[in-house]
Structure 1
């Protein structure tokens, strides 16, 4: 089959959420009826780390391409310099789009490319991209540094939306999308659901608790993901260590995911202190978790902890918690705080109030009152299905 139109998809990063976002897009492209082909450009390490994704999605209308070893080394060496990295990525896209005679470029991570969009050479075709972390609304601006950062981002984003080069900016922040559409009078920005593929857990919760050795009748608090200093693990450990023994004996802290080396050392120090104070049960499962098994940890838990430190943007943890109909405990900061409040997804902690987490934790353990709105949780989870994310992007092309 011959295709009249080619769309270049560019994803240089093979780590974190990047492979998942790319796979969801390609998988739903294959299940849809689109009259164009995709050329997917990645760095060589993607072929090494994610051969299953490539195997599942290589067809007559999806072609996988790799940058050269030299280009990949240049990209790795530029990662610490945002401007240098942006220039390099912009040039790579322009070169491949020209050689492929592409009709459109989709950049899977556009946040750091905004300045390049303004200053670098115009590519041979329109460009679209995903903006993960706008900070136009719901982020307090207090210090001089924060004000400078806000206005720099504000003016830069407003400027690129007037560039003819830019076709569509997909944005994961619905409040930022509303602000832009209302105040800047442009239709170039579209809300993009955060894609989470939830695989139902079919085994019994009791059997999983036995496997994890979670004691019966415990209230289980889950921390999930890459365990680094952003996760607020130290805050959780310090707070749980202050619980009275009467409360502590009914609590289990379940920590699932790979450790950052320094964070693991800090955790072990905090654990030693906690074990001297009370009998909170702490269980770690620090192994690779297949996508099909992730949701089981949410199902087995009673509360999901997402105490990220001044987190900007969304988190798949929110969607997974909502899918399991389990309350999210997070700070009243930024997009996560705003959505949690508006959608009634759980319990908000005010980080400006000393010991607010401890006070609310005590109330939580004293009460059997349900937290959150189950109907709203379900709607939020359904909105952020991977198929909805892919449809927004693909239909715009």
Structure 2
């Protein structure tokens, strides 16, 4: 554990995708406003360094191609050691007295092996899955998933014993009740306030009354693109004639050709409007699309962890259709954010889409609870929880109250035990 509050924190993240841009901006802005004496240095790939907007007080060190390549290796053991060694190198070169991993999941193996860091380290645990028994999806848990969860259980137990590890910030509030250590703290995944839409997003909404479904982000097989095509093939023609589907975001290269073929096949048999915008969308343009959509699609394929798509939908007050598995399914059900279904079952996913068309998008979610869900997950609370925790300070009164409420919920009936 850290004996004294740090004065210089190095924050490390080698992956430019996902939450990194927003999280860096939340943390650096909060530090500049609330902790001006604190120095932050970011160790990031060059593309991310060029894309993020941080205060002048924040320093940036760019990763070398070799560091980036090793940190992003497909083999988890290789990437874990690559990230660990890169962090140690940049702790030394920056002179920082504290290291923070934006994604701690990749570092569980080095920490579990007992490797010691140059300085105390903390990080965000994005995908703690081992504690689910599982809620609505237990009967479909595969042997591979059970082995994965057992492996995580062992790694977590060993990781938490490592004296170099200061704090684990968990994005899953239900994980809190599975640990008996003060090292684990709850952390909300912030629902970023949607920026003003750009002119490029104007005019996307159909004018003939069709229900607009939007699937957006980094489009991968895990995001459920092919599963969505399977579901659309189950729709009745009269349902398809009343809806449009827009897939907006970069499609992984291996999926592009297949996606085009599947889309052409669907258009040939159904009166369905199905279109693609295969590129990285700036936040302002994406905000316009989310606001204009009627339903947000997030048909993840048994994904473990939090979802930026879910948070964008909640911020815009849009219902979501997503998986019934893991944290995403649990939050969707408990906060009535939309429909949580077995997204690996094409007929079940098609039924949810048909329901949205037949009954109207407003019938899918509870407006009051959606607003409360988004209001509870603010960028300020996210940044305050991390920096106040690392600096050994009491969180703000509002943050403390909200954190206490979330911890209480996780410890009273909502949490499952480790397997």
- Structure 1 CA distance for aligned equivalents of residues 96 and 201 of structure 2: 49
Q: 2:242 — aligned with what?
A: 250
Q: 2:128 — aligned with what?
A: 134
- Structure 2 CA distance for aligned equivalents of residues 52 and 146 of structure 1: 36
3-state SS of 2:118 partner: coil
* Cα deviation, residue 254, structure 1: 1.3
Aligned 1:46-57 pairs, distance under 5 A: 46-53=45-52, 56-57=54-55
1:379 to 369, 372, 377: 372
- Structure 1 CA distance for aligned equivalents of residues 160 and 383 of structure 2: 22
2:60 to 59, 64, 67: 64
Residue 153 in structure 1 maps to residue 152 in structure 2: yes
* Cα deviation, residue 335, structure 1: 0.8
Q: Which ranges in structure 2 are unaligned for 5 or more consecutive residues? A: 391-419
3-state SS of 1:19 partner: helix
* Cα deviation, residue 34, structure 1: 4.4
1:106 to 100, 103, 120: 100
- Structure 1 CA distance for aligned equivalents of residues 94 and 253 of structure 2: 43
Instruction: Give a deviation string over 1:43-91, Cα, whole Å, max 9, x none.
Output: xxx334532536x4332xx222234555455x26x71332233223323
Q: 2:118 — aligned with what?
A: 124
3-state SS of 2:52 partner: helix
- Structure 2 CA distance for aligned equivalents of residues 113 and 288 of structure 1: 28
- Structure 2 CA distance for aligned equivalents of residues 297 and 192 of structure 1: 28
Residues 153 and 4 (structure 1 numbering): CA distance in 2 closer, same or farther, change over 3 Å?
A: closer
Instruction: Name which of structure 1's ranges 274-283 and 167-176 shifts more when overlaid on structure 2.
Output: 274-283
- Structure 2 CA distance for aligned equivalents of residues 272 and 319 of structure 1: 31
- Structure 2 CA distance for aligned equivalents of residues 219 and 393 of structure 1: 40
Residue 92 in structure 1 maps to residue 91 in structure 2: no
Contact 2:245 2:273 in 1 (8 A): yes
- Structure 2 CA distance for aligned equivalents of residues 147 and 203 of structure 1: 45
Instruction: Name which of structure 1's ranges 365-374 and 158-167 shifts more when overlaid on structure 2.
Output: 365-374
Q: TM-score, normalised by structure 1?
A: 0.86
1:225 to 192, 217, 229: 217
Q: 1:170 — aligned with what?
A: 169
Q: 1:237 — aligned with what?
A: 229
Q: TM-score, normalised by structure 2?
A: 0.82
Instruction: Give a deviation string over 1:137-169, Cα, whole Å, max 9, x none.
Output: 335484443332222110210222122211100
Contact 2:197 2:287 in 1 (8 A): no
Residues 328 and 107 (structure 1 numbering): CA distance in 2 closer, same or farther, change over 3 Å?
A: same
Number of aligned residue pairs: give it.
380
Q: Which ranges in structure 1 are unaligned for 5 or more consecutive residues? A: none
* Cα deviation, residue 217, structure 1: 0.6
Q: Which has the larger radius of gyration?
A: 1
3-state SS of 1:177 partner: helix
Q: 1:21 — aligned with what?
A: 23
Residues 357 and 91 (structure 1 numbering): CA distance in 2 closer, same or farther, change over 3 Å?
A: closer
- Structure 1 CA distance for aligned equivalents of residues 297 and 370 of structure 2: 16
3-state SS of 1:169 partner: strand
Residue 198 in structure 1 maps to residue 200 in structure 2: no
Contact 1:58 1:64 in 2 (8 A): no
Q: 1:264 — aligned with what?
A: 256
* Alignment root-mean-square deviation, CA: 2.7
Residues 69 and 253 (structure 1 numbering): CA distance in 2 closer, same or farther, change over 3 Å?
A: closer
2:37 to 35, 38, 54: 35
Residues 249 and 353 (structure 1 numbering): CA distance in 2 closer, same or farther, change over 3 Å?
A: closer
Instruction: Give a deviation string over 1:178-223, Cα, whole Å, max 9, x none.
Output: 332xxxx21111112213422344689xx956x3362321111111
Q: 1:350 — aligned with what?
A: 342
- Structure 1 CA distance for aligned equivalents of residues 221 and 344 of structure 2: 19
* Cα deviation, residue 386, structure 1: 2.0
Instruction: Give a deviation string over 1:240-269, Cα, whole Å, max 9, x none.
Output: 233333222211111111122232212222
Aligned 1:199-348 pairs, distance under 5 A: 199-201=194-196, 211-212=203-204, 214-348=206-340
Residues 270 and 28 (structure 1 numbering): CA distance in 2 closer, same or farther, change over 3 Å?
A: same
Q: 1:12 — aligned with what?
A: 14
- Structure 1 CA distance for aligned equivalents of residues 370 and 387 of structure 2: 26
* Larger RCO (alpha carbons 8 Å, 6+ apart): 2
